[in-house]
Amino acid sequence: MTIEDTLGALAGSPVHPGLETIDNGVFSRIDATARTSRQARGGMLVAVAVATITGAAGAAIPGGRGVEPSVVLVNTALAPSTLLGGVE
């Protein structure tokens, strides 16, 4: 039996009755997925807008950029170089 014979037999066979109603289910799932994707894109757009506005507002407000801490103020008693031994 060749592929042409098999395809001819398949084309001549009756259509399963369940195939008549399957299209509605498939299309409704596609619509639901598209609707969910649109909602997700909208949510991401809102999140990006809020982050952008927050970042711009944070950059516009002068911050407390005072004196940087000095190395002298840092406690180095447990620094890795002292824990390895040999350095005291």
The first and second tokens of residue 45, run together, are: 């757009």
**For residues 80-87, average pLDDT:** 64
Of the two residues 36 and 65, the one the predictor is more confident about is 36
Q: How far apart are CA 47 and CA 10, in angstroms?
A: 52
Cβ(88)–Cβ(82) under 8 Å? yes
12-16, 19-23, 38-42: segment of lowest average pLDDT: 19-23
pLDDT at residue 63 tops 70: no
21-35, 38-52, 58-72: segment of lowest average pLDDT: 58-72
Q: How far apart are CA 71 and CA 41, in angstroms?
A: 47
pTM exceeds 0.75: no
Query: Using alpha carbons only, how large is the chain's radius of gyration in Å?
Result: 34
Whole-number pLDDT of residue 3 = 93
